[in-house]
Amino acid sequence: MTLPPAPAAQPSLDVQTRASLREHNTFGLPAVARTLVRIKTEADVRRVVDHPEYGVARKFVLGGGSNVVLTHDLEDVVLKVEIAGRRLVDETPEAWIVEAGAGESWHGVVAWTLQQGWPGLENLALIPGSTGAAPVQNIGAYGVELKDRFHSLDAIDLVTGRSVTLGPAECRFGYRDSVFKHTGFGGLAGKSVITRVRFRLPKPWQPLLGYLDLERKMAETGNHAPDANTVFDWVCAIRRAKLPDPAVIGNAGSFFKNPVVTEEQCRDIIGRDPEIVHYPMPDGTVKLAAGWLIDACGWKGKTVGRAGVYEKQALVLVNRGGASGAEVVTLARAIQESVYGRFGIRLEPEPIIV
């Protein structure tokens, strides 16, 4: 009698208990996860959902840790998303459709698309973090937001384990905002894990050069018709000159959103501060440079405890060494009060404060 083959052993979850999160957040803030699960495949997400303990526990989804301020240890089950993979899904006369795993480095994906001859993401070069986090934050820089290049994404429901595909409308993109940042009815924060993201890179390619720093690069180089690789190099150079490398100085990039005001509010501020950096928006509102507002209040280079304001860019808060999340939050609140006191404008943090 021939016995049937034994069923193949199911891969087990990669679980760490009492895991330090210091190296998993770009601010380098101290925090400990009671349970950390490394998510390398879609199947890992379903194993978490089906797990007798983890399935019913609260969960915190962590990508590259570049958009989070950790103020305490986490009792939630931390899902560290490390899903890899990059591919061309489709090519039409109008666009390339490109897909990347949520755990891929965002900057790595941008560089790879250009190497393949698929331009369109170059203005978003050198933004730290993972690809799966990019739609959560609706990242943006130098005149381009992720929603401008977004096609769709795959996510897994953390209650049912079912896969869903969401388009732009379902993601409810806003300025540094999406459905994935909201709790409560209709919000998906903590309720799903993004596994793969697809981008639509339009043909024919056209450079977007409307920001002052890029205009300066054109003037400096005399190149007024740069190709995509040149724009990529310019953006990288601009960001490196202004922003600290998280591997050297802990930070989460731009800490505050650029506030948007009415034309009337802007005229009032210009009347008092003619030098304010501002950008008219298509809908008639005006975006103000938060870094300029903070600098005007005298914060550039200042330190509170072990957290400080970066000397080259007032929009960036940094870890001077050994800072806690509470110190970062204290500094951020002091800046908010200062800017409100002078300009009557409330700055909103970009990172998620946990």
Helix 228-242 / helix 106-115 crossing angle, nearest 10 deg: 150
Helix axes 212-221, 228-242, angle to 10 degrees: 110
Cα–Cα distance between 258 and 275 in angstroms, integer? 16
Q: How far apart are CA 83 and CA 36, in angstroms?
A: 15
- As a whole number of angstroms, the distance between CA 291 and CA 289 comes to 5
| Structure-block tokens of residue 6 | 């034994």
Between CA 144 and CA 122 the distance in angstroms is 9
Burial of 278 (0-12, 13-18, 19+ CB in 10 A): middle
- Nearest 5 degrees, angle CA 94-CA 98-CA 100? 165
Rg (CA), the chain: 22
In whole angstroms, what is the distance from residue 295 CA to residue 16 CA? Answer: 42
Contact 329, 352 (CB under 8 A): no
Query: Which residues does the annotation mark as catalytic?
Result: 176, 254, 350
Residue 2: how many other CB atoms lie within 10 Å: 4
What sections of the chain are H helices per DSSP? 42-50, 106-115, 133-137, 168-171, 212-221, 228-242, 263-272, 290-296, 325-343
